[in-house]
Structure 1
């Protein structure tokens, strides 16, 4: 029951998650990101471009050699001179071999560049997502970030691996062929090049129309991943409350949106290919007729006409390749835009430019001050009206109140997961916004109600509190918190793998491990946000006994629904609608007639 209350409180205090809201993209962010990714590879990029330029020159020489064979080699052979024809055939074979070798070299060079770029991009996304503030992760579901690092990066991979090679081949072949056609016969050459006008109009229309489609497609696939991730992460309540049909209906909606966007993309490509092929076929027919007329009048050699036909086929055959490239390009451009938006998003809780060092602390923790603090979420909903509060060093303060009273928000301001809208939170007189994050995390540790454990051993999860700790120190922290016996009883003791999210041990045991992790960190300020919620009565009593000793010499803030946890506090704050309505020792408040006394009496009645 307590878990349900905690979840309700979190939902009440947090801003509504913007599942369908895209991360805004600053103008030019995608181009800047691409430049930053390719910048370190300028040399390899230039060498790869040189390879493809020479490869296309060798490849496009084929029809010209055919013309030479027909117009020079065959007449010479009739005159019993095989030399010219043999030279042309040798040149043809040599160009074919050279084109193959250079293409292989280009693919190897471009593959190295592509993988280096994608490796850096995935690393950037992961590092930046960890750096972003808590409010970002509470507004955007994890599935949206997963989509950026998986499907969006994969769209870029397809473009870099295949699309760019196709584009370079098309551009270079068009350039080479255009020059050769004009040189061979300027009349037919100019007639052929006029076809670029309708082709350009078709390409421009396709690009404009498909750009909208692929932006919609990237958003749709992110929604699919979000729905899938959310359902799998919450599979227990899904099955417990028979949410399968409702989830299927919600997933079916986003799945159909993705399918519709994909179908629209294919339809646009089909329209492009149909129109471009029609233009190509009409133009080839016109050029062949004009060439035949010129050849009939003797002003055009037959070999040149043959080369023209072969070159025209090469000029228009890449239409499908260009369509595939534009298809990949639009998808990758939309993906890059989404990634650039994520990487351009700055933390709302930034690292200070010139950090202020905290004064040396003694054995009494640190003094915490809330000075004219007010807090409201981005939506504008005020959670904490302006208030002042001082928590003396070395004292344990319990914060209680109804769901949505603002208790967890107060704790997150102290841990600097959020910055106050107005006022400041200070540690020994130093504004938290001026303290380096690493130093702040060493001094202020928060044990949340999630008790999240990572895949790995129990010892590794405890050592997260202080990575350089020895095995003896890890085990001592477990003893202090009362977790040693249950850990030692596990199959491999402290070397037992807790598996994903600590699923191998119970919720109460996970919280004990989280306590040991926090105690090993040895912070000056310890925040316990409903941290005993999953413990049974014996476990809670064991933790409370350990806490009386462990919290000595620290400033502690204990947020609790269980009033039994409050008994260890020196001071109790009762919150209501973001305001502190009662303040005193547990004995004073219990002996009074206020809200805490009523809560305590109701709690005692529930134990009967």
Structure 2
């Protein structure tokens, strides 16, 4: 069994697994398998089309060697059959080519649809650790540039390749039937052709892999620049960005130049071999006619067939290079699809116990002997134990790097602990189905990312089946209603790309409304009030006191005003809890939180 690629491995370009070509072929086979019937029909049509397209020189030979001599004697039957056969196979070949192209186009689009869907679904399933290591630009490259390369080959070049290979095979058989001695001259040209093709295959695959890697870097830089365009313009980073793009674009250009040099060498070599072979056949064939060892019609058919034999070879050269590019692209896609998430769904999920009552929706959280580190790095949480009773609101306080965000990433199961367990109502999070976990635990971050669509659409992400009245009620609960009332379309207002129509505070309120509508058992707020102004923050704090009642809540906040609604404060340092108590009790003491609170009060004076 082939080992899966883990999400914590670098699967880019030069570090692709050695068997990635086989994995790519297996992927293509799995995509084609549901369309076996269409593929068989396509193969039959292609075979008939090829057969029809290679028979017309035979009728030319019949017309010259039998039809014309008999016609000179007054019998035009043979000539008529030869002409009729020529016209018939020509029409049949044209009709078959139309039908084959139609079939391959439909099949290619179905396969690409499945591949795009599979890649999108899989990348969403991959855990946060994978996405924090990989850039969004690389995934965009997989979904765009690499997909386009695969589609170009399947939708356009594949038909040309099959047609060319089929024609060459049929022509080779016909040449043997016409005159096996002349056919040997043709086949002698295969010897250098085979060695040339094998050499090109080795060098071109590596060359096109470099082009896929290079264009991915260009796309990554473009996506990052456009995503951070405000910072780029604010700090006048345009010249630096242009220099970086030029450097990466030069790498892409150079990779393409190397690949095209290989294309030119291969195309020139095959053309030279073909021309030499045709010249040899004409010379030997002329000698055979002079010696009366063959007929002029046979030689004429040979010359016609040779043009058709080496004509497709030129197409195969171009198709071969497109195939190499598509193969390299498919390998990159296969590498992503073979990446297994480190946070995996349980094989036999366990259901959460029933809620204690409809009014008390909170659940207990417990960390037992938890140890966690990112990859092979140092422990962020060394032997951590914590119990948060159901319905309690806990505030996490501490300097940057104290382990607060890591703790909530474990609560939301974006990561699994390196050792120990994180449990909700006694159930290990690793035993919960992902859907059940996401219904029970909801996180609001400081990023406040909004998808394209209306305000209502973004709130409804928390519960897609919610009615308009429920969406509006969630908006009122967090104080969003006052903003929305000033908009001409209300909750139907389009937020535009990344929520650009709303201020950062308004976007955060939409995120709050989304979480409240989801009605979770546990709410995690990671710096969720960081972008709110003072009036908005007070409004949200007032709403939070009502909404968080009866639920378990974990709040990370550097602004200590947010901590005032907490039942309990945990002060963290180096992954450990150094203070634990009620806010008022800690403020009255002489510990770390009391000092932080005094410094915060002084900053407001």
How far did residue 230 of structure 1 move?
Answer: 0.5
Structure 2 partner of 1:139: 133
The residue aligned with 2:52 is 58
CA distance in 2, matches of 1:467, 1:65: 68
Q: Cα distance, 1:231 vs. partner?
A: 0.4
What is the deviation of 1:26?
5.9
Query: 1:322 matched to which residue of 2?
Result: 316
Residue 564 of structure 2 corresponds to 567
Q: Matched residues in 2 for 1:429 and 1:468: separation?
A: 30
Equivalent of residue 288 in structure 2, options 289, 294, 315: 294
Q: Which residue of 1 aligns with 2:165?
A: 171
Match of 1:516 among 504, 513, 516: 513
Q: Which residue of structure 2 lines up, in the alignment, with residue 579 of structure 1?
A: 576
Name the structure 1 match of 2:144.
150
Answer yes or no: is the 8 Å Cα contact 1:144–1:226 preserved in 2. yes
Q: Quote the residue 2:111 is aligned against.
A: 117
Structure 1 gap ranges (5+): 1-14
- Aligned partners of 2:545, 2:16: CA distance in 1, in Å? 46
Q: Secondary structure at the match of 2:340?
A: coil
* 2:495 aligned with 1:498: yes
| Residue equivalent to 1:214 | 208
Whole-angstrom distance in 2 between the partners of 1:559 and 1:163: 55
What does 1:472-491 correspond to in 2, within 5 Å?
472-491=469-488
Looking at structure 2, the residues matched to 382 and 557 of structure 1 have their Cα atoms a distance apart, in angstroms, of: 22
User: 1-side partners of 2:339 and 2:296: how far apart?
Assistant: 63
Deviates more, 1:256-265 or 1:372-381: 372-381
* 1:147-195 residue CA offsets vs partner (Å, 9 max, x unmatched): 1111111111111122211221121111111111111111111121111
Shift, 1:508, TM fit: 0.3
Which deviates the most, 18-27 or 586-595? Answer: 18-27
Over 3 Å counting, the alpha-carbon distance change for 1:536 and 1:23 in structure 2 is farther
CA-CA distance at 1:530 after TM superposition: 0.4
Q: Which moved more, 1:325-334 or 1:595-604?
A: 595-604
Return the match for 1:45 from 36, 39, 42: 39
Aligned equivalent of 2:415, options 392, 415, 418: 418
User: Quick one: distance in 1 between partners of 2:394 and 2:17?
Assistant: 41
Report the Cα offset of residue 82 of structure 1. 2.2
Which one of the candidate residues 329, 341, 345 is aligned to 1:347? 341
Q: 1:354-394: per-residue Cα shift (whole Å, max 9, x none)?
A: 11111112316111001111111124232221210111111
User: Are the equivalent residues in 1 in contact too, given 2:168–2:312 (CA < 8 A)?
Assistant: no
Superposed CA RMSD: 1.7
Contact 1:135 1:418 (C-alpha < 8 Å) held by counterparts: yes
Aligned length: 594
Distance 1:25 1:40, change over 3 A: farther
Q: Per-residue displacement from partner, 1:94-122 (whole Å, max 9, x unpaired)?
A: 11111000111111111111111011111
**2:194: which partner in 1?**
200
Aligned to 1:598: 595
Matched residue, 2:464: 467
Q: Which residue of 2 aligns with 1:98?
A: 92
2:441 corresponds to 1:447: no
User: 2:227 matched to 1:233?
Assistant: yes
Residue 425 (structure 2) aligns with: 428
Question: Partner of 2:4 in structure 1?
Answer: none
Partners in 2 of 1:269 and 1:21 — Cα distance?
22
CA contact (8 A) 1:405 1:575 kept: yes
Q: Which residue of 1 aligns with 2:257?
A: 263
Q: For the residues of structure 2 that align with 1:324 and 1:147, how far apart are their CA atoms?
A: 24
Contact 1:17/1:138 (8 A) holds in 2? no
The answer to whether residue 547 in structure 2 is matched with residue 550 in structure 1 is: yes
User: 8 Å contact 1:19–1:139 — kept in the other structure?
Assistant: no
**What is the Cα deviation at residue 20 of structure 1?**
7.8
Q: CA 1:22 to 1:454, structure 2 compared with 1: closer, same or farther past 3 Å?
A: farther
SS at match of 1:298: coil
Q: Any gaps of 5 or more consecutive residues in structure 2?
A: 1-7
User: Which one of 359, 362, 367 corresponds to residue 370 of structure 1?
Assistant: 367
**TM-score in terms of structure 1 length:** 0.95
Q: Distance in 2 between matches of 1:32 and 1:249?
A: 40
Offset at residue 16 of structure 1 (A): 12
Matched residue of 1:293: which SS? helix
What TM-score do the two structures reach when normalised by structure 2?
0.95
After superposition, the C-alpha distances for 1:447-479 in whole angstroms (9 at most, x for unaligned) are: 111111111121221121112222222211112
- Work out whether residues 12 and 332 of structure 2, in 8 Å CA contact, stay in contact via their aligned partners in 1: no
C-alpha separation between the residues in 2 aligned to 1:259 and 1:22? 22
On the 8 A contact 1:188/1:291 being kept in 2, the answer is: yes
- Closer, same or farther: CA 184–67 of 1 in aligned 2, 3 Å: same
Matched residues in 1 for 2:189 and 2:361: separation? 84
Deviations 1:229-271 (A, max 9, x none): 0000000001111111111122112111111111111111100
Q: Is the 8 A contact 2:52 2:90 kept in 1?
A: yes
How far off is 1:18 after superposition? 9.3
Q: Which whole-Å deviations, capped at 9, do the CAs of 1:517-549 have from their partners, x for residues lacking one?
A: 111111111100000011100100111111112
Distance in 2 separating the partners of 1:405 and 1:332: 47
Task: Tell me the alpha carbon deviations over residues 429-458 of structure 1, each in whole angstroms, 9 at most, x when there is no partner.
Answer: 110000111111111110111111111121
Q: Which moved more, 1:258-267 or 1:591-600?
A: 591-600
C-alpha separation between the residues in 2 aligned to 1:47 and 1:494? 52
Structure 2 counterpart of 1:244: 238
